[in-house]
Structures are given as structure tokens and as C-alpha cells.
């Protein structure tokens, strides 16, 4: 089977993010970038399914030349080829979904797996738009209920299982207060939650091999997609800094303050 | 913890290829996530986390700069970057990798028969076979040519007798590359023997009471009438050139890697100094602390540049022993000084394994002395400068 996965370039979640003084965005100097962690989980899941069912994993990213770093990362993990949608400038979730739709129509995968959201602007919409516009079924927030703490846990049934006839996919989803298991006709769109799997480390020979794997370049105009954003960010601001705590002399004062100031008891 | 970009003040990262950078980042991520959370406890208890061996092997770390036989076939720069990240974790882990790759796999790869390469290298690359390197003896450290270990020919076997000490990985090794003089010959008669675990008369004893490289196996090897078959003798090298070429290889890696320990100490000290408040402001704001941090960073950047150039020269086949000596001598010494300075910034907190400085400081005392003592590297350099040999 053919699986399309995404690899968005995002700020390293371990970087310290600073908002520009004029509120138009974040300070980008000195920031490190990496693949969106939810997308990395999607790449891993695609590789596991292909290891089991055969086929290939195609990874797609949208952005300037710098997204090659994220595409190469996915290729080093084991993806077979990459599609680079060469676009610089603002893009909203509909623009992204529109471009992905065209890539899907071109690549014709059996399954699209993408992160449920990207950790930069946390929209959580692209997978849903994409499934709707393709007219495909969708299973969002694919998750594995178990922790990964023991071998036994790791070996439990995966959250994404493709039917024996390669026509359906069964997905365990994380929902409020529990799990829901859904079944979709293929082709379908699946978005990944945090606990679906633990992505592998790329092997060092894999990193070298990634160099010679193909990256196909596409441009939005060539795909016939108008990516003019319908959504504009008007202002960004950092969360207010937390005030320093105070020390109270005794328990009685603490209880008093909890009652009268914090109003929690 | 976010890694401050300041440690790459001279943008040395930009001198790397995309692949070299990706290799560095991948190993760095492994160290951050899988190794740093556990190393303090292992150092304290004097144990080695064996579970990391198969995982590093899976990534292709062991024998990474060797071609074929299941090895990754990377360049020396990539190998150096891997070791530097391991060293940023702990010298014990980097020592494991140096010994496995440069001192055990390399001699088999360079001087072994085809049959020996096929028999050992793929298993060693996978971390299923562990190697060690037996050169140093209780009475012969900087002067290996005086070694007492002997091999006598008996039919299609060699009988080995002697003692080797300060052998990293000795007690867990499946194969020991033991260097011995043949019959009653001099240094020119030295040959390499692949002594396997379980051969009668061969034993390894763990050296106890170490305050350095605690998360590493250090052993003494005892050889008493050990019968080693002909097929376990390295056929293609004789004399001190064999072990010295292995050491030269390992030393280049160590010179490059030592900066990893220095970076770990600097980054942790910077973070601590920025948040530790005394007299109502962070100690990073005081001139004495800033001088310490400036001195540390300056030496880190210089060591990185030296290491970088050394590995590029090695990849071009132009690295000489004098170059390796200068880099090992400088980079390990400054790493040790940086670790000591970092320890002082942590104040009393710095003496515990909660913070990395004292662990690296103690480890680097070993690194300063092993793989050619600081003093011997001085003499190698002195000889290259003057043409006069001050060894004897």
C-alpha cells in the first residue's frame, strides 16, 4: 500500500520562543527547527504499516528550501520518496489542506497519515479539511491507550490496523474520557495523537542513504491552488509572566489566605 | 533543556554537510532523551547501562568510520561528531565506543584476515560481540615496547603469557585484541592476537575503587598459558606500528570528543549561573562569573576549530601524529579545566552527581592520562618541532 505522510517544519519545542516587541510574530533568529512531533509519529506509523503490508511511504512538506531538512529526516527514518511543495509566505490551514489535496490526487495513496496538529500554531484542522475535500473518511487523534513503559505494553495491538483485504483501516482514537474504535473505508485520512507510537531514531547509514532518495518539487501555481490566506494573524502576545509567590508565617495564615484570597476552600 | 546556541559562536555547524549535521543531531537527541536521565545514577553506583549498547548499535555507531562488514562507512568527521555527543553524555560511554570501534574493530578491519573480518566485525557492529584492546601492562604504560607479554609457537597454536591492565571493557569483552612479543623478540616482533572469552587460562578482573570513569568497565586481563589458534593471529601487521596505529585513530576521536564534556559542563554552568541568585541577582551577572564563562567558551570554540580541522585532514589522509597529539593535548586539558571551573560555578551543589560538572571533571582526569598521557603528547610535539627525541 501507498501511504502519504506529512513533515511540517516547526520551531524546536525545546527552544525558548520570544514574541517580537511589535506583536507581529516570533523572533526567529537563533531558533532551531525540526519536524512537527505529531508528524514524526505519522512517519513512524506509516513505516510500521509498510513494513507489515509492503508498499511505500511518501513524505510531503510545504515551505521554502529549508524544509528539505525535515524531508531528509523522514527519508532517513526510512520513507521512500519525498514531495516538496515549494512555497514561501503565509499559508493558512485551508491553503495547506488545498495543497495537500492536490498532492493526494497526484500521488493516489491508500492512506494519508498526518499529525493531528502542528505544535507551532496548534490549529488542528488540516486533516479534517483534507478528508472533507477529498470526500474520504477520517479518523482523527489515533492513539494507543497503553504506555510504552514495558516490552509487554509495546507489543500490544497497534492503534492502526489495516484490514486483511487492504480495504479498511481500524483506528483507536483518544476521546474525552476514554477510547473510541472506528473503522474507515480506504482510502482514508488519519491524524495522529501523541501516544500512537514512539518514533525511531534514524540510523546513521539511513541518514547517508536519504541523500540519494528523490525529492520531487511542486509549486502551488502548478497545482492550481490559490493559497491566499483567508485567515490573518493580527497580533501575537506572550502569556503574562507569573507573579512570584509569597511565604506565609504559619498554617493559620495559609488557611486564611486560601479562604479569602485564593477562594479555593 | 534548550541548548544555548552560544556554544557554536563561530558557526562551526555551517562547516558540516547536511548529513554530518543530521548525524550529530540524531546522536545528540539519543543522548538527551535516553542517556542523560540515567547516567548520574550509574556513575554513582559504578555501573554501565548495558541496555544502550544494542540501541547505539542499531543506529550504526560502532565502527561507524569503517567500510563494509556491516559498518556504517561514514567519514572521520561523522565519527568524531558521534563520539563528541557520546562524550557530552559521559566519557564512560564514549570510551566504550572508542574501544569497540577504534581499538578493537579497527585492528581486525585493518590487519585481520578476510575470515577474521567476517567472523568478528558484523557481530561487533551490531554490539553482539564486545571487544577490548590489551596493550598497557602494569609496568609498561607510556613505554609499550618494553611489554612482557609473550607468545610462543607450539604447533598450530600460540601460547600467551602476561598481564594487561587498565583495559576498558575487559571484563565484558567477547574478544580481546592482545599485543604480545613473539618468542624472545624485541618490539619489532610484536603481533596482535584475538583472544576469545572462555579460552582456558584467560581471565579478566574488574578494577575496583575508581573515582573516575565509574560508569565504565575497567579491567585487568590475565593470560596464563592461553592457547590461541593460528587463525586468531592478525596476519598483516608486526611491531609497535600495529597498536600505535590503532591508538592514533582512537586519539583523534578522543581529541575531537573531549569538547563534548566541556560543552556539557559549560551549558549546565551557564544555566545554573543564570538562575542562581545571590545578593539579589543571578550570579551570571557578576564579573567573576562572566570571566569564568568567557574563558570556558573561548577554549571550547578554539578546541572545536582544532578538532574540526583535524578530522577534515584525517578525511583527506593528511593527519600526522603530531597533529593528533596537539589536538589531544589541548582539547583534553582545556576540557578538564572547563569542568573544574564549571564545578566552582555550581558552588557546593557542584560536588554532587545532580549536576554534571564533577562527574565530567573526574572522568577527564582519566582521559588526560589515557590514550597517550598529556606528557607523552608533549614529547611527540616536541620531537616534531625540534627533530630531537626526548623520550629516552
Q: Going residue by residue through chain B (392 aa), what tens digit of pLDDT does each one get?
A: 344 578 999 999 999 999 999 999 999 999 999 999 999 999 999 999 999 999 999 999 999 999 999 999 999 999 999 999 999 999 999 999 999 999 999 999 999 999 999 999 999 999 999 999 999 999 999 999 999 999 999 999 999 999 999 999 999 999 999 999 999 899 999 999 999 999 999 999 999 999 999 999 999 999 999 999 999 999 999 999 999 999 998 999 999 999 999 999 999 999 999 999 999 999 999 999 999 999 999 999 999 999 999 999 999 999 999 999 999 999 999 999 999 999 999 999 999 999 999 999 999 999 999 999 999 999 999 999 999 999 87
Look up the domain containing B75 and give its range: 6-125
Of the candidates B125, B154, B175, which is a domain's last residue? B125
- CA A235 to the chain's CA centroid: 24
How far, in Å, CA of B9 to CA of B15, rounded? 13
Flag whether B391 is in a domain.
no
Nearest to A204 among B3, B5, B61 (CB): B61
Structural contact between residues A50 and A16, judged by C-beta atoms closer than 8 angstroms: no
Same domain, B208 and B334: no
How far, in Å, CA of A39 to CA of A199, rounded? 10
Flag whether B306 is in a domain.
yes
Structural contact between residues A143 and A198, judged by C-beta atoms closer than 8 angstroms: no
Segment A6-58, tens digit of pLDDT = 999 999 988 888 899 888 888 888 788 999 999 999 999 999 999 999 999 99
Same domain, B286 and B321: yes
Quote ipTM for the complex.
0.85
Same domain, B16 and B58: yes
Flag whether B392 is in a domain.
no
Cβ neighbours of B151 (radius 10 Å): 26
Same domain, B137 and B120: no
Listed residue (A141, A136, A119) closest to A191, CA to CA = A141
Q: Give the domain CATH number at B353.
A: 1.20.140.10
Task: Residue B127: list chain A partners with CB under 8 A.
Answer: none
Segment A189-235, tens digit of pLDDT = 999 999 899 899 999 999 999 999 999 999 999 999 999 999 888 99
- Give contacts of B 12-31 with A, CB under 8 A: 18-19, 22-23, 26-27, 29-30
Give me the DSSP letters along A197-226: --PPPPPHHHHHHHTTS-EEEE-HHHHT--
Task: Residue A207: list chain B partners with CB under 8 A.
Answer: 19, 22-23, 26
For helices B52-59 and B91-98, the axis angle rounded to 10 degrees is 60
Q: Give the domain CATH number at B228.
A: 2.40.110.10
A146 burial type by CB count under 10 A (0-12 exposed, 13-18 middle, 19+ buried): middle
CB contact under 8 A, B60 and A30: no
Residue given cell 545514577 in the structure block: B41
Q: Which residues pair with B83 in a beta bridge?
A: none
**What is the chain B residue with the closest CA to A205?**
B72
Structural contact between residues A43 and A110, judged by C-beta atoms closer than 8 angstroms: no
CB contact under 8 A, B22 and A203: no
- The predicted pLDDT at position A241 comes to 82
Does the annotation count B371 as an active-site position? yes
Task: Residue B27: list chain A partners with CB under 8 A.
Answer: 204
CB contact under 8 A, B22 and A72: yes
B90 burial type by CB count under 10 A (0-12 exposed, 13-18 middle, 19+ buried): buried
Of the candidates B125, B151, B167, which is a domain's last residue? B125
Flag whether B1 is in a domain.
no
Flag whether B258 is in a domain.
yes
Nearest to A201 among B30, B64, B78 (CB): B30
How far, in Å, CA of B253 to CA of B328, rounded? 9
Same domain, B266 and B308: yes
- The predicted pLDDT at position A144 comes to 78
Q: In sequence order, what are the residues at sequence separation of 6 or more whose Cβ sits closer than 8 angstroms to the Cβ of residue B71? A: B60, B62, B63, B64, B65, B105, B109, B121, B125
Q: Could you tell me the end-to-end alpha-carbon distance of chain A, in angstroms, rounded to an integer?
A: 58
CB contact under 8 A, B74 and A72: no
Structural contact between residues A131 and A139, judged by C-beta atoms closer than 8 angstroms: no
Same domain, B60 and B111: yes
Q: What value does the mean pLDDT of chain B take?
A: 96
Of the candidates B188, B205, B232, which is a domain's last residue? B232
Flag whether B136 is in a domain.
yes
Same domain, B152 and B285: no
Same domain, B228 and B247: no
How far, in Å, CA of B24 to CA of B46, rounded? 28
Residue B89 has which C-alpha cell?
553524555
Q: In sequence order, what are the residues at sequence separation of 6 or more whose Cβ sits closer than 8 angstroms to the Cβ of residue B89? A: B31, B35, B36, B39, B260, B264
Same domain, B250 and B270: yes
Flag whether B274 is in a domain.
yes
How far, in Å, CA of B64 to CA of B83, rounded? 10
Catalytic residue among B85, B267, B365, B371: B371
Residue B16 has which C-alpha cell?
558540516
Q: Give the domain CATH number at B45.
A: 1.10.540.10
Residue B190: φ, ψ to 5°: -60, 135
- The predicted pLDDT at position A147 comes to 54
Q: Under an 8 Å CB criterion, which residues of A touch B?
A: 12, 14-16, 30, 32, 68-69, 72-73, 76, 201-208, 210-211
Report the greatest alpha carbon distance in chain B.
79
Same domain, B200 and B310: no
Same domain, B251 and B365: yes
SS3 A4: strand
Flag whether B183 is in a domain.
yes
How far, in Å, CA of B2 to CA of B124, rounded? 34
B236 burial type by CB count under 10 A (0-12 exposed, 13-18 middle, 19+ buried): exposed
As for how many domains chain B has, the answer is 3
**CATH (one of 3.40.50.300, 1.10.10.60, 3.40.50.620, 3.20.20.70) for A2-234:** 3.40.50.620
Residue A220 has which C-alpha cell?
502551488
Gap from B16 CA to chain A (nearest CA, Å)? 14
Same domain, B35 and B169: no
Amino acid at each position: 500500500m501507498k501511504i502519504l505522510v506529512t513533515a511540517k517544519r516547526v520551531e524546536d519545542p525545546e527552544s525558548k520562543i520570544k514574541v517580537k516587541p511589535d506583536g507581529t510574530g516570533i523572533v526567529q533568529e537563533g531558533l532551531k527547527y525540526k519536524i512537527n512531533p505529531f508528524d514524526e509519529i505519522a512517519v513512524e506509523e506509516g513505516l510500521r504499516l509498510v513494513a507489515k503490508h509492503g508498499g511505500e511511504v511518501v513524505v510531503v512538506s510545504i515551505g521554502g528550501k529549508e524544509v528539505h531538512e525535515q524531508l531528509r529526516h523522514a527519508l532517513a527514518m526510512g520513507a521512500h520518496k519525498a514531495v516538496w511543495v515549494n512555497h514561501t509566505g503565509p499559508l493558512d490551514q485551508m491553503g495547506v489542506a488545498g495543497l495537500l489535496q492536490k498532492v493526494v490526487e497526484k500521488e493516489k495513496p491508500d492512506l494519508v497519515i498526518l499529525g493531528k496538529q502542528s505544535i507551532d500554531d496548534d490549529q488542528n484542522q488540516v486533516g479534517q479539511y483534507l478528508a472533507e475535500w477529498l470526500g474520504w473518511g477520517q479518523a482523527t487523534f489515533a492513539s494507543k491507550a497503553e504506555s510504552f513503559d514495558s516490552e509487554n505494553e509495546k507489543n500490544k495491538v497497534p492503534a492502526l490496523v489495516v484490514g486483511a483485504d487492504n480495504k479498511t483501516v481500524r483506528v483507536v482514537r483518544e476521546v474525552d474520557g476514554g477510547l473510541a474504535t472506528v473503522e474507515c473505508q480506504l482510502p482514508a485520512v488519519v491524524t495522529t495523537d501523541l501516544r500512537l507510537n514512539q518514533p525511531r531514531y534514524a540510523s546513521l547509514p539511513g541518514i547517508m542513504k536519504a541523500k540519494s532518495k528523490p525529492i520531487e518539487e511542486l509549486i502551488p501555481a502548478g497545482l492550481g491552488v490559490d493559497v491566499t490566506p483567508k485567515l490573518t494573524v493580527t497580533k501575537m502576545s506572550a502569556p503574562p509572566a507569573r507573579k512570584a509567590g509569597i511565604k506565609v508565617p504559619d498554617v493559620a495564615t495559609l488557611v486564611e489566605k486560601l479562604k479569602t484570597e485564593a477562594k479555593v476552600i | 533543556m534548550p541548548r544555548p546556541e552560544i556554544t557554536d559562536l563561530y558557526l562551526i555547524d555551517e562547516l558540516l554537510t547536511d548529513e554530518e549535521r543530521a548525524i550529530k543531531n540524531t546522536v545528540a537527541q539519543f543522548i538527551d532523551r535516553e542517556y542523560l536521565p540515567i547516567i548520574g545514577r550509574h556513575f554513582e553506583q559504578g555501573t554501565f547501562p548495558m541496555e544502550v549498547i544494542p540501541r547505539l548499535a542499531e543506529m550504526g555507531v560502532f565502527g561507524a568510520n569503517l567500510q563494509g562488514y556491516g559498518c556504517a562507512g561514514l567519514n572521520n568527521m561523522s565519527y568524531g561528531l558521534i563520539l563528541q555527543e557520546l562524550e557530552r553524555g559521559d566519557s564512560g560511554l564514549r570510551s566504550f565506543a572508542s574501544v569497540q570501534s577504534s581499538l578493537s574493530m579497527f585492528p581486525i578491519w585493518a590487519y585481520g584476515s578476510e575470515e577474521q573480518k567476517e567472523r568478528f566485525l558484523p557481530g561487533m557492529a551490531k554490539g553482539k560481540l564486545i571487544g577490548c584492546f590489551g596493550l598497557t601492562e602494569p609496568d609498561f604504560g607510556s613505554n609499550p615496547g618494553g611489554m612482557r607479554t609473550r607468545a610462543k609457537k607450539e604447533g598450530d597454536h600460540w601460547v600467551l603469557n602476561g598481564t594487561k591492565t587498565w583495559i576498558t571493557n575487559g571484563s565484558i569483552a567477547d574478544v580481546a585484541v592482545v599485543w604480545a612479543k613473539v618468542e624472545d623478540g624485541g618490539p619489532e616482533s610484536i603481533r596482535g592476537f584475538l583472544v576469545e572469552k572462555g579460552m582456558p587460562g584467560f581471565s579478566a578482573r574488574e578494577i575496583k575503587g575508581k573515582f573516575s570513569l565509574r560508569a565504565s568497565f575497567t579491567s585487568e586481563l590475565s593470560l596464563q598459558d592461553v592457547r590461541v589458534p593460528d587463525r586468531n593471529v592478525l596476519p598483516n601487521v608486526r611491531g609497535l606500528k600495529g597498536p600505535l596505529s590503532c591508538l592514533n585513530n582512537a586519539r583523534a576521536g578522543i581529541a575531537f570528543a573531549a569538547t563534548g564534556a566541556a560543552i556539557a559542563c559549560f551549558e549546565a554552568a551557564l544555566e545554573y549561573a543564570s538562575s542562581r541568585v545571590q545578593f539579589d541577582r543571578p550570579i551570571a551577572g557578576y564579573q567573576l562569573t562572566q570571566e569564568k564563562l568567557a574563558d570556558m567558551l573561548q577554549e571550547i570554540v578554539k578546541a572545536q576549530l582544532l578538532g574540526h580541522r583535524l578530522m577534515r585532514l584525517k578525511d583527506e589522509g593528511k593527519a600526522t601524529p603530531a597533529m593528533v597529539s596537539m589536538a589531544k593535548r589541548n582539547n583534553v586539558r582545556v576540557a578538564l579545566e572547563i569542568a573544574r571551573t564549571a564545578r566552582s560555578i555550581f558552588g557546593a551543589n557542584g560536588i554532587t552527581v545532580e549536576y554534571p560538572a564533577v562527574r565530567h571533571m573526574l572522568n577527564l582526569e582519566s582521559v588526560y592520562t589515557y590514550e597517550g598521557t598529556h606528557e607523552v603528547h608533549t614529547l611527540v610535539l616536541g620531537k616534531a618541532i625540534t627533530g630531537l627525541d626526548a623520550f629516552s
